[in-house]
Amino acid sequence: MTVNATTRSAGKSAGALDLDRFRLRRFVESLGGDELDIREEKVDLADVAAILQNNPKAVWFRNVGPEGQELTGNVVGSRSRLAKAFGVPAGEVALEMRRRLSLKPELVKLSGNEAPVQEVVLTGADADLLRLPVHVQHALDGAPYISATIDYTIDPKDGRYNCGLRRLMLRGPREAGVDLIAPSDLRVMYMASAGRRERLNVAYVVGCHPIDMVSATMKEPVDELELISSLRAAPLPVVKCVTNDIMVPADAEMVIEGYFDERGYVEKEGPYGEYLGYYGVVKTNPVFHVTAITHRKDALFQTATISGNRMDYTDTSNLEALRMEMNVWKILGEVVRQPVAVYAPVAAGGSMSMRFAIRQTYPGEARSALYAVLGAVGVKNVFVVDPDIDIFDDSQMEWAFGTRFQADRDLVIATGVRLSPLDPSLHGARSGAKAGYDLTWPVQHAQNWELVTPQAPSYPGSRFPSLEAALKDGPKHFEELMAAVGSRDGREVVRELDAFRSGGLERDERGRYYLPKQA
């Protein structure tokens, strides 16, 4: 399980751990009114989806369903909340994640009586999925879905842990459908297991800190349980499941233990609203069987927002955008000397569009970076700009697109490439096209004064005893002449300049005023 991590058993050091520091409930409690919508009134499960849909805030339902349970949703549905989870500004989350990847992970093994997630243990008939506050998320979904789930499995090849975000479609008290169609390590493991007619044990965590959800979206060549510790920048308390040997975070809200049966892809699953904002078709998928449910005494159940026409407000798009940005930072680090910023617009599903800014140091650098990102990342549209453009600002990007782009010169198209099968514009095709948009100034033209963006005057420059002395010192913009004589009213400078016109006042190609030194 832990090839490179430091592993400690429970004891004095484990007892010193704060088992609430990375708890979902504590994170939700830390959100202010600008980030959290608290619903104290009783809410039917049938109404949960409408309240979450297009809601820019996380929502905390204090009294949901006939049992009056607690439910939270849309917790990571904004970059600001993800930034809060990592304790950095919104524009620095991906960079902070890259820094934390270099940290050595540490797992602390707890026994069952020490692990908060096993305060309540339900097995047999008591392990009932239909007692959980699971709601219908989209009008045409095939059933209620448990959507904020992280699956934990052990790869039999090397003993490493694999984690991912995958939904569960309720089929009964102890059965659920699982979406295992997309290429993934878990799909490879399950197909091998089913080929041997063997079950594959799996544990689903429901209700976790945002950092854990981020880690589940990443694909790094490490044990993915250890990855959580690295991204938390803290020891990770873990505990063995009660019905299998899988270790899970001991500070989670809930764990659903079970297995994928050996029959393979045998049951219909879906339809379901997918992360690009459209429906996924009915698929044939494996079946998950529940063997136990463990949870905290005051467990906070979690649901994830996934689809709709405001992807920027959904959990999945925000998570996907952050994952894609991490990938692009890695690529730019190999091909560009001075990468400046990276942003995946969340409104495009977090993966269909990518923007990045670089400081060019040689001709062709922007175009090389554009090709690299197009070739190595599963995005469809890529935009590269100079550092003066704020890639997080849609209005600045539109301005750059409208004024710095010529289609016959700056458009790069790659055809016959693999795209997400969920992209509805493919119309069933197996491959499509990508486009790159070079919105940078060519290096040889970037210093042209007419390409400088106008700004309000700041009056830089040295003081001179007179306007004449300033003019003889060398060419100066009108703004600099005002600063040279300490003028707070430009009209008086105009009057003085007018007096020098008969004495040889000249202007250069940039519009700067000067007096020839011989005058």
Q: Is 1 exposed, middle or buried (0-12, 13-18, 19+ CB in 10 A)?
A: middle
Contact partners, residue 102, CB within 8 Å, separation at least 6? 230
Query: pLDDT at position 278, please?
Result: 83
CA distance 305 to 147: 8
Q: Which helix (H) or strand (E) holds 291?
A: strand 287-295
Tokens linked to 338: 């001075």
Q: Using one digit for the tens of pLDDT, what is the confidence trace for 443-499?
A: 776 667 667 778 899 999 999 999 999 999 999 999 999 999 999 999 999 999 999
pLDDT of residue 12: 43
pLDDT of residue 350: 81
E-assigned strands of 29-160? 36-39, 58-64, 69-73, 106-110, 120-123, 145-146, 149-154
When pLDDT is averaged across residues 227-235 and rounded to a whole number, the result is 97
Confidence category of residue 519, pLDDT binned at 50, 70, 90: very low
Residue 118 CA neighbour count, 13 Å, CB half? 20
Alpha-carbon torsion 417, 418, 424, 429, what sign? positive
pLDDT score for 14:
57
* Type and span of the H or E element at 330: helix 315-335
pLDDT of residue 11: 47
- As a whole number of angstroms, the distance between CA 377 and CA 383 comes to 13
Q: Give the range among 181-190, 262-271, 274-283 with minimum mean pLDDT.
A: 274-283
pLDDT value for 8? 57
* pLDDT tens digits, one per residue of 147-202: 999 999 999 888 999 999 999 999 999 999 999 988 889 999 999 999 999 999 99
H or E element that contains 435: strand 432-438
Whether the predicted pLDDT of 4 surpasses 50: no
Contact 161, 151 (CB under 8 A): no
Please give the structure tokens belonging to residue 407: 């289609």
- R_g over Cα of the chain: 29
Q: Is the pTM of this model over 0.85?
A: yes
| Tens digit of each residue's pLDDT (9 = 90 or more) over 371-384 | 999 987 778 999 99
Comparing CA positions, the residue from 253, 49, 17 lying closest to residue 150 is: 253
Report the pLDDT averaged over residues 320-337.
Answer: 92
Question: Which of the 8 DSSP states describes residue 501?
Answer: G
**DSSP-based three-state secondary structure for 135:** coil
Lowest mean pLDDT, pick from 9-23, 175-189, 236-250, 355-369:
9-23
Per-residue confidence (pLDDT) for residue 447, from 0 to 100? 66
Q: Which helix (H) or strand (E) holds 373?
A: helix 365-376
Residue 1 pLDDT more than 60?
no
State the pLDDT at residue 6: 57
Kind and range of the H or E run holding 480: helix 478-485
Which helix (H) or strand (E) is 189 found in, with range?
helix 185-195
Lowest mean pLDDT among 53-67, 221-235, 374-388, 485-499: 374-388
